[in-house]
């Protein structure tokens, strides 16, 4: 049974748009925070990964919006790894308004492992081991 | 042969991240600008659509990143409508570094037509007519 | 001795720019988060203030940058109220890298109290009482 | 009589907040675009300055908000250089709603000249000459 990472996020005024909702692109920054915290929990903070010479640029993302968050909502972000290949992986984050069982947004972000010069590389084995508990396939 | 809308965008310092690339979520704001300009060219500026009591919240988006833009790049955004249903439509924007034939990013954003109270509605016929030249299906 | 409010903030990738620093404008969104949390601590979450029919648009801001935060820094934001007039107030937030005694950034944001129609109004007495412990003058 | 640089900016949906105004911090990114275009007009695009090994981090900023811009406004940004010292300079940008004589926002941003290693340096003489027409003191 794979592990899911939980992360709380408070919606700022700056996150909202004139429809009084979190602007659609801003959920993707929230997802970036969430997967960063998953990696920290796994013992591999992303800053350290970059210091080690690996980078994980985004290759694709997709998001579905079932509802919307408003100013000051406390959001619960539940993240798991829904794909793990040799040189790519994907995080799926479901974003809930606190207390609600149905996600407002569900987003999947696929990242590629590259070296500092942009060359694709395999995901380092220690990282692969560390994130294994979060992998759902 | 459907029409494609062209829009130029200059990358700001604020758009970039520490990898010296446009942050992945920021391309989606560029796409929002691009489809807003398509609607203006079609004679239906989005502000006017909202004043008329219709809103088009985002239902889903997906983006693929083939390359990346850096600070001060002049980007060419080519947008067309790749889906037009009774109550939803989708814009696809390909973002090019000026002069290059291969897109850096290709993003599709699906919007739903709703009334001010959030109730789904059909896309107003005048708007449908105005955007028809951009529809590729 | 006035009270100072403490708030922690983790720098996201999206906050940074190509100089590998938090982009200068983004500190002001961090300050907005910080003063929102001060108001919550004082028992007057800003969302409730707006629900009550009062708004506090920004009238001026100023920031000095003595250093800079980088990706993944855990910032400590210390906020106090440095001006309280009939119809305006100012929050000053000092932002520290965790553990450092010298602020990276110090910003003062002045807000005006207005009614929903934009008319200036006096700050409601209950709010004035609630925030009094944070006022330093 | 010093020269003032003019730059047009269209407000995006993402720029707005739930008060249906451009979020206060976002005007500072607009100012960054405006001073970047001034430097381009002067023959010294900022990207080239950085390539040459100089950087201009922000040392301070201040903004006054007299009004506000809403979604889809076409803003006119008028920028001049209001301070030019050995190693620092300041740009002042007044932001107008198109056609209006009174600025919505007036912001001054002070930058320091540093080398790649962060050491302060004097502003390169060729740059100083190029921007001289915009200096108002």
Which residues from chain D sit within 8 angstroms of residue C24, using beta carbons?
28, 32, 58, 61, 109
Q: Which of the residues B14, B30, B40 would you substitute to probe the D interface, choosing the one with the greatest number of D C-beta atoms within 10 Å?
A: B14
Q: Where are the alpha helices (DSSP H) in B10-79?
A: 26-41, 46-51
In a structure prediction context, what are the per-residue pLDDT tens digits for chain A, which is 137 residues long?
A: 789 999 999 999 999 999 999 999 999 999 999 999 999 999 999 999 999 999 999 999 999 999 999 999 999 999 999 999 999 999 999 999 978 999 999 999 999 999 999 899 999 999 999 999 999 97
* Partner residue facing B14 (CB), from C20, C23, C71: C23
Q: What's the ipTM?
A: 0.96
- Rounded CA-CA distance D116/A4 in Å is 42
- Other CB atoms closer than 10 Å to residue C37's CB: what's the count? 20
Confidence of residue B98 (pLDDT cuts 50, 70, 90): confident
- Other CB atoms closer than 10 Å to residue D83's CB: what's the count? 15
Chains in contact with chain A (at least 3 beta-carbon pairs closer than 8 A): B, C, D
Which residues from chain B sit within 8 angstroms of residue A23, using beta carbons?
29
C13 vs B17: CB contact, 8 Å cut-off? yes
C13 vs B23: CB contact, 8 Å cut-off? yes
pLDDT at res. C39: 98
pLDDT in tens, D94-111: 999 978 999 999 999 999
C-alpha distance from A32 to closest chain D C-alpha (Å): 18
pLDDT at res. B25: 98
Map out the domains of chain B with their CATH numbers: 5-132 (3.10.129.10)
Provide CB contacts within 8 A for B23, sequence distance 6+.
Answer: A29, B15, B16, B17, C13, C14
- Decide: residue A8, CB within 10 A, 0-12 exposed, 13-18 middle, 19+ buried: exposed
Confidence of residue B110 (pLDDT cuts 50, 70, 90): very high
pLDDT at residue B109 is higher than 90: yes
pLDDT at residue B99 is higher than 90: no
pLDDT at residue C137 is higher than 90: no
| Structure-block tokens of residue B80 | 């067309």
Which residues from chain B sit within 8 angstroms of residue D14, using beta carbons?
29, 32
Strands (E), D35-73: 54-55, 58-65
pLDDT at res. A1: 79
pLDDT in tens, B19-75: 999 999 999 999 999 999 999 999 999 999 999 999 999 999 999 999 999 999 999
Q: Using alpha carbons only, give the angle C97, C101, C104 rounded to the nearest 5 degrees.
A: 45
Give mean pLDDT, residues D73-89: 98
Are the C-beta atoms of D134 and D3 separated by less than 8 Å? yes
Confidence of residue D1 (pLDDT cuts 50, 70, 90): confident
C62 vs D61: CB contact, 8 Å cut-off? yes
Give mean pLDDT, residues C74-100: 96
- Rounded CA-CA distance C67/B32 in Å is 34
Q: Is the pTM of this model over 0.95?
A: yes
A13 vs D16: CB contact, 8 Å cut-off? no
pLDDT at res. C105: 98
C-alpha distance from B78 to closest chain A C-alpha (Å): 19
- Closest listed residue to residue D21, CA positions, set A123, C94, C118, B85: C118
Decide: helix, strand or coil at residue C69. Answer: coil
Contact status of B70 with chain A (Cβ, < 8 Å) = no
Chains in contact with chain D (at least 3 beta-carbon pairs closer than 8 A): A, B, C
Give mean pLDDT, residues D53-77: 97
Contact status of C85 with chain D (Cβ, < 8 Å) = no
- Rounded CA-CA distance B46/B111 in Å is 13
Are the C-beta atoms of A16 and D17 separated by less than 8 Å? yes
Contact status of C71 with chain B (Cβ, < 8 Å) = yes
pLDDT at res. A99: 85
| Structure-block tokens of residue C29 | 């969104």
H-helix or E-strand spanning residue D84: strand D74-84
Which residues from chain A sit within 8 angstroms of residue C72, using beta carbons?
36, 45-47
Contact status of D4 with chain C (Cβ, < 8 Å) = no
pLDDT at res. B137: 74
pLDDT at res. A54: 96
Q: Which residue of B has its CA nearest to C21?
A: B18
pLDDT at residue D37 is higher than 80: yes
Which residues from chain A sit within 8 angstroms of residue C74, using beta carbons?
none
Which residues from chain C sit within 8 angstroms of residue B22, using beta carbons?
none
* Partner residue facing B47 (CB), from D29, D32, D71: D71
Contact status of B55 with chain A (Cβ, < 8 Å) = yes
Which residues from chain A sit within 8 angstroms of residue C10, using beta carbons?
33, 36
* Partner residue facing A71 (CB), from D18, D21, D70: D18
């Amino acid at each position: 049974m794979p592990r899911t990472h939980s992360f709380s996020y408070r919606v700022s005024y700056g996150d909202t748009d004139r429809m009084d909702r979190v602007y659609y692109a801003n959920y993707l920054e929230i997802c970036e925070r969430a997967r960063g915290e998953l990696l920290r929990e796994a013992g591999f903070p992303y800053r350290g990964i970059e210091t080690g010479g690996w980078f994980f640029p985004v290759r694709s993302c997709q998001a579905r919006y079932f509802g919307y968050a408003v100013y000051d909502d406390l959001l619960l972000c539940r993240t798991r790894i829904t794909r793990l290949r040799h040189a790519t992986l994907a995080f799926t984050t479901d974003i809930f308004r606190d207390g609600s069982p149905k996600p407002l947004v569900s987003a999947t972000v696929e990242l590629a492992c590259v070296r500092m010069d942009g060359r694709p590389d395999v995901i380092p084995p220690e990282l692969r081991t560390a994130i294994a508990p979060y992998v759902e396939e």
